[in-house]
Amino acid sequence: MVGPGKPGTSLAAMARSRAVPVLNAALVPAEAAPELAGRDVVCFSGIANADKFHASLERAGACIQETMVYGDHHMFTPQDIRDIAAMSDRWPDALLLSTQKDRVRLTRANDPGRRLRARARSFPVVMTFADTATLDRLLRDLF
């Protein structure tokens, strides 16, 4: 289960009632994450829970000025790219951030000049597990 939240808690309880192991994990900024303390940020994402992404940025010290949120696994259109670029233009001193998975969706098809891809930075995260011994055991049992 990654992070807190009622849906995850209910699912974890159901799994435990069936003797299925539940591992708790958290997404934390990777060492390569940009320094955000006190920085103005505008961001876009197409993930299931954008609030968690925004909370991660704020915990890293970012001052979020504006966001654009799309549905999970959103395939950005040329119009989306223009909208995101316009948001970034409204905040010329702000860092334009996205998730790693969304930044790679900026392609030649939707961002022909690759202008937005060049301007946008991703906020890399790594998953950390609370109980690495159980994770190691489960993986060892698989292989």
**pLDDT 10s digits, 52-61:** 899 999 999 9
* Whether residue 45 has pLDDT greater than 90: yes
Q: Of residues 139 and 6, which shows the higher confidence score?
A: 139
Q: What is the mean pLDDT of residues 72-85?
A: 94
**E strand or H helix at 127:** strand 125-129
Mean pLDDT of 35-49: 94
* pLDDT score, position 80: 95
pLDDT of residue 87: 97
pLDDT at 3 over 80: no
Mean pLDDT across the stretch 24-51?
A: 91
How many angstroms separate the CA atoms of 15 and 138, rounded? 15
Q: Is the distance from CB of 23 to CB of 136 less than 8 angstroms?
A: no
Q: What is the pLDDT of residue 85?
A: 95
According to DSSP, residue 5 is labeled: -
Task: Please give the pLDDT value at position 9.
Answer: 83
Predicted confidence (pLDDT) per residue in 80-100, tens digit: 999 999 999 999 999 999 999
Quickly state the pLDDT bin for 46 (edges 50, 70, 90).
very high
Q: What are phi and psi of 38, to 5 degrees?
A: 75, 5
Instruction: Answer yes or no: is pLDDT of 12 > 90.
Output: no
